[in-house]
Amino acid sequence: MKFRPCIDIHNGKVKQIVGGSLSDVGSAATENFVSSKDAVFYGRMYRELGLSGGHMILLNPVDSPYYESTKRQAMETLKAVPGDLQIGGGITSDNALEFLDAGADKVIVTSYVFKGGKINMANLKRLVKTVGRGNIVLDLSCKRTDEGTYMVVTDRWQKLTDVELCEATLDELSEYCDEFLVHAADVEGKQSGIEENVVKILSSWGKRAITYAGGISSISDIKLIKKLGKGKVDVTVGSALDIFGGPLKMQDVIDACK
């Protein structure tokens, strides 16, 4: 199990937020932490710690008045630590190469591939043709339904699709990407414990690299992911880290993932 670092940029600042609180109206979100440091600072920190394969997410939509300042920080970070970070947030076949050329390891895509609550195969194939499967991470962040299934959510976790997070979906989409990123959106940023069933779904498949994020509050949570994930599921920790105002020391988290 590998520890994957993260950088979330919202309204031009590095933040940790409650995932389900994002709203495009007024670019609002419930904040856990707002950093006085920029994204480049965190990118260089991760490089010094030998961490790679993490994700940097632009949390403002392209039509937001804050998008350009958010994107500017991201681009500066990619250029400062080329090849270290994946990037997501508003990625399409039209702009993916711009981010890869700037130094992104891979592009992370959700909303472009899920339109009208369904998988848009035309967009997905167009993206593969543009950048190649090996440069694509599909974000299958999900929310739990009343029936107990987990459905993919898009547009900064605001819109529910009819695509279930399950082995069949992972099988189908794995032909078009190199790895998956899955935020358990119901617990994202809450430090309330992990979505164990999501980890079990991911580990039961385990045919490509998969990173889980959401709800981690303790080293015990990380150890539980390692157990349930059978070593197949990598992990991201955000709000709970001391570098983002949380209780967990970075080195303890890195050690727990080894």
pLDDT digits (tens, 9 = 90+) for 114-173: 988 899 999 999 999 999 999 999 999 999 999 999 999 987 677 899 999 999 999 999
Distances (CA, A) of 234 to 96, 181, 209: 24, 9, 8
- Domain range for 124 is 6-257
pTM above 0.75, yes or no: yes
Inside any domain, residue 12: yes
Query: What is the rounded distance in angstroms from the CA atom of residue 224 to the CA atom of residue 229?
Result: 8
Residue 65 is part of a domain; what is its CATH number?
A: 3.20.20.70
Inside any domain, residue 222: yes
pLDDT in tens, 6-61: 999 999 999 987 655 555 555 556 777 899 999 999 999 999 999 999 999 999 98
Inside any domain, residue 1: no
Domain count, the chain: 1
